[in-house]
Amino acid sequence: MKIEVWQGDITTLAVDAIVNAANESLLGGGGVDGAIHRAAGPQLLAECRALAEIRPGIRCTTGEVRATAAYQLPARYVFHTVGPVWQDGQRDEPALLANCYWKSLQLAEKLDVQSIAFPAISCGVFGYPLHQAAQIAATEILTWQRSHQQPRRIILVAYNAATFKAYQSALAAQGQPI
Ligand code: AR6
């Protein structure tokens, strides 16, 4: 198994699951979250709103993941995960970001998802340094693949060239050139 890296808009991918970089409310926002909600249509927001609140206004805490249907998207599921807001790197940000990848892969296995695409979680509004985030994504996925057969396809989606390059170097550094 290899990690695939692809540059483009995650909402166009016909995979079993696309991952959304959401916030703890799961009620939408900007960036990839906004793009996913626009493309999926209003039923996505309705399903998110109906998810149980852990605390008032909070449906998913940082590092966790929730699945919904994907409605008008070509995917089957949207996995909503919440990446950490980058502060100074000393607030557990790496472990929380690693959880986003690992727990999404665990959920994929549970739901029999064969193909999954991740955006660069936390690398936009949440300000995570791109190269550090790319290394965490590569490490978590490669570690997962060493002991799991599923999902068969794991795609890292780069929305721009800088992100594509960051994935390229993170994978090369781990002996997995693309
Ligand atoms: N396809 C793939 N990647 C995309 C797309 C797209 N259509 N659009 C943006 N990206 P961000 P975060 C990339 O800010 O940092 C929202 O308001 C983008 O270039 O979407 O986790 C949420 O509601 C970047 O590399 O997510 C939260 O409040 C990456 O996706 C907050 O932003 C993530 O950028 C989450 O911030």
ipTM of the assembly? 0.99
In angstroms, what is the span from residue 174 Cα to ligand 1's centroid?
Answer: 25
Helices and strands, counts by H and E, the chain: 5, 6
Q: Is 84 in the pocket of ligand 1 (CB under 6 A)?
A: no
Write out the catalytic residue numbers.
Answer: 33
**Which tokens hold the place of 173?**
């550094």
pLDDT band for position 166 (cuts 50, 70, 90): very high
In angstroms, what is the span from residue 125 Cα to ligand 1's centroid?
Answer: 7
Q: Is 63 in the pocket of ligand 1 (CB under 6 A)?
A: no
Interval 103-157: pLDDT, tens: 999 999 999 999 999 999 999 999 999 999 999 999 999 999 999 999 999 999 9
Sort 120 into a burial class: Cβ within 10 Å, 0-12 / 13-18 / 19+: buried
Which protein residue's CA is at the shortest distance from atom 33 of ligand 1?
124
| Mean pLDDT, residues 161-166 | 98
In angstroms, what is the span from residue 137 Cα to ligand 1's centroid?
Answer: 15
Q: Are strands 77-82 and 65-69 parallel, antiparallel or unpaired?
A: antiparallel
CA dist 75 and 31 (Å) reads 18
Residue 131: CB atoms within 10 A of its CB come to 16
* Three-state DSSP class for residue 128: coil
CB neighbour list of residue 117: distance below 8 Å, 6 or more residues apart: 6, 10, 13, 15, 17, 18, 19, 75, 155, 156, 157
**pTM, two decimal places:** 0.98
CA dist 67 and 5 (Å) reads 23
